[in-house]
């Protein structure tokens, strides 16, 4: 019985490590385009037009995460002005990206894309809330 539990636990740990695998920007782009093609039934022309948009979106997102990591690593907290400017830059990029996506997709595809993005945001929010709850419980046990 203990042996079976150990194997299961090890398999779950291995699965988590595999999910943390970092794909290159090109690989991420290809995977995203393939998923969008399945979900939105993109034409070959739309796929070609989306590729540079998705690549840029991934680069922008990675740049933002790196900037946030740098700010967190410094001993002094970032000023409100620095955080505000980062957020403004990120939102400007999102607005531009949305306009470009809208120009490539037809109306039906874009509506479906918006619904998918909304669901993804909702799931990310719920996951963040669960992580906060776990962290809080862990701190309560320690304290």
Same domain, 52 and 88: yes
Note whether 68 and 38 are same-domain residues: yes
97 and 41: one domain? yes
- Which residues span the domain enclosing 29? 24-105
Task: Count the domains in the chain.
Answer: 2
Residues 114 and 47 in one domain: no
Q: Are 38 and 82 part of one and the same domain? A: yes
Residue 29 CB burial class (10 angstroms; 0-12, 13-18, ≥19)? buried
Residues 66 and 119 in one domain: no
64 domain residue, yes or no: yes
Q: What is residue 141's predicted lDDT score, i.e. its pLDDT? A: 80
Q: What is the mean pLDDT of each run of 10 residues along the chain (143 residues)?
A: 52 54 91 95 96 94 86 79 89 94 96 93 91 84 73
Same domain? For 38 and 67 the reply is yes
Examine residue 18 and state whether it is found in any structural domain, yes or no: no
pTM, two decimal places: 0.70
Residues 6+ apart with CB under 8 A from 100: 53
pLDDT the model gives residue 16 = 55
Cβ 67 vs Cβ 86: under 8 Å: yes
Whether 38 and 101 map to the same domain: the answer is: yes
pLDDT at 36: 95
Q: Are 54 and 44 in contact (CB under 8 A)?
A: no
């Amino acid at each position: 019985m203990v042996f079976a539990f150990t194997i299961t636990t090890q398999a779950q740990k291995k699965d988590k490590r595999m999910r943390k695998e970092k794909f290159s920007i090109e690989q991420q782009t290809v995977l995203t385009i393939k998923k969008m093609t399945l979900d939105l039934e993109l034409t070959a022309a739309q796929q070609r037009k989306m590729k540079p948009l998705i690549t840029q979106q991934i680069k922008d997102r990675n740049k933002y995460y790196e900037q946030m990591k740098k700010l967190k690593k410094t001993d002094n907290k970032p000023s409100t002005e620095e955080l505000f400017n980062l957020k403004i830059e990120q939102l400007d990029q999102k607005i531009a990206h949305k306009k470009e996506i809208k120009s490539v997709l037809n109306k039906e595809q874009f509506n479906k894309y918006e619904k998918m993005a909304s669901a993804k945001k909702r799931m990310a929010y719920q996951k963040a809330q669960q992580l906060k709850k776990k962290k809080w419980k862990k701190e309560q046990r320690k304290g």
